[in-house]
Chains A and B, each alone.
Chain A
Amino acid sequence: METNLEGLDQLEDLLVSEFRTWQALTQLAREEREALAQQNLKKLKELVERKVLLLEQASSLEQARKAQFREAGVQVQREADWNLVVQAGSEAASALNGSGVFDRLARLFSGLLALLDRLREITRMNRSLASSLLWSEGLVPAEPGPLQGAVPGGGGSQDAV
């Protein structure tokens, strides 16, 4: 039983880490939206580099969480859109009913799903902004202009040719 309790604690820790990572990605997406709205591509580039790292982290945590989920011997039941119930899926885990850990896990899963839904919406908006910007004539000014500042490494030197 101790092993399963430890397993559930580890699962909870992993879920918290996963939630925080997706929270960071959501905040980053908001910053992306701002950078796109301001056509600040230097900032966008920085954000994209951070995003790669965060996505890698989220992917690793997801894999670890899945493995731990199996190890802990629990199940998730979806009762409604965001209403999830975590239940014991094994005899050993059923002994932990009433410990409160299943409720906490259910809240974490629900929170994660809600967060992902929000990020999905922001990402869609950002995609529209980026697509518009990519194809807009404004990105390709006839003369060097404000976009000079967006050159990686400080810019300006490109005109030395």
Chain B
Amino acid sequence: MPSETGPRTVQDPPVKPLTGAFLSGYEVYDETVCKYVRSFNLAYYGMCSPALSPGDETGPGLARRNLLSREKAALNKALLLFNVTEEMIERVTGGIAGQKK
């Protein structure tokens, strides 16, 4: 594995942004998530903007912060998807019930 020669930037997590119809209507929740993500200096979701200022991308301790941020971001994303899952469950359940006359 090649070693890093410099600090990692906060904009390179190999995670594709959540997109698609699922996420429509989640602006409020997204904002909550993004507020938390931003507080850890991580532009993790494509929906979380703006990105960090250049000054936030360097400095001692950044790697450690990134490490922690990515873990927390994984949890945030998991929490977001719990909401999506529950909403879809309600939609499918209600849809089936709603198919009666």
A-to-B contact residues, CB < 8 Å: 18, 22, 25, 29, 32, 36, 41, 44-45, 47-49, 51-52, 55-56, 58-59, 62, 66, 69, 75-78, 84, 89, 109, 112-113, 116-117, 119-120, 123, 126-127, 130-131, 133-134, 139-140, 144, 147-148, 150-161
> Interface residue count for B (Cβ, 8 Å)?
47
Whether A120 lies near B67 (C-beta < 8 A) is: no
B66 to chain A, nearest CB (A): 6
Residue pairs across A and B with CB atoms within 8 Å: the count is 136
A44 to chain B, nearest CB (A): 5
Whether A113 lies near B85 (C-beta < 8 A) is: no
Q: Mark B65-93, 1 if CB is under 8 A from A, else 0.
A: 01110111011111101101110110111
Chain A residues in 8 Å Cβ range of B91: 62
Whether B75 lies near A41 (C-beta < 8 A) is: yes
Give the CA-CA distance A48 to B17 in the complex, in Å. 12
In the complex, which residue of chain A has the Cβ closest to the Cβ of B82?
Answer: A127
Chain A residues in 8 Å Cβ range of B100: 75-78
Given contact pairs A48-B81, A76-B100, A77-B100, A130 touches B75 in the complex (Cβ within 8 A) = yes
B15 in the interface (beta carbon within 8 A): yes
Whether B74 lies near A119 (C-beta < 8 A) is: no
Whether A147 lies near B71 (C-beta < 8 A) is: yes
In the complex, which residue of chain B has the Cβ closest to the Cβ of A74?
Answer: B99
Residue from A36, A47, A127 with most neighbouring chain B CB atoms (10 Å): A127
Q: Which of A18, A49, A119, A134 contacts B75 (CB 8 A)?
A: A134
Whether B92 lies near A112 (C-beta < 8 A) is: yes
Chain B residues in 8 Å Cβ range of A76: 96-97, 99-100
* A-B CB contact pairs (8 Å), 15 listed: A25-B85, A45-B74, A59-B88, A75-B99, A76-B100, A78-B97, A130-B75, A131-B79, A134-B75, A144-B67, A150-B74, A152-B70, A156-B1, A157-B8, A160-B63
Give the CA-CA distance A133 to B73 in the complex, in Å. 12
Chain A residues in 8 Å Cβ range of B39: none
Whether B71 lies near A150 (C-beta < 8 A) is: yes
Q: Mark B1-29, 1 if CB is under 8 A from A, else 0.
A: 10111111000011100101110000000
Q: Which of A56, A66, A139 contacts B22 (CB 8 A)?
A: A56
Whether B70 lies near A157 (C-beta < 8 A) is: no
Chain B residues in 8 Å Cβ range of A89: 101
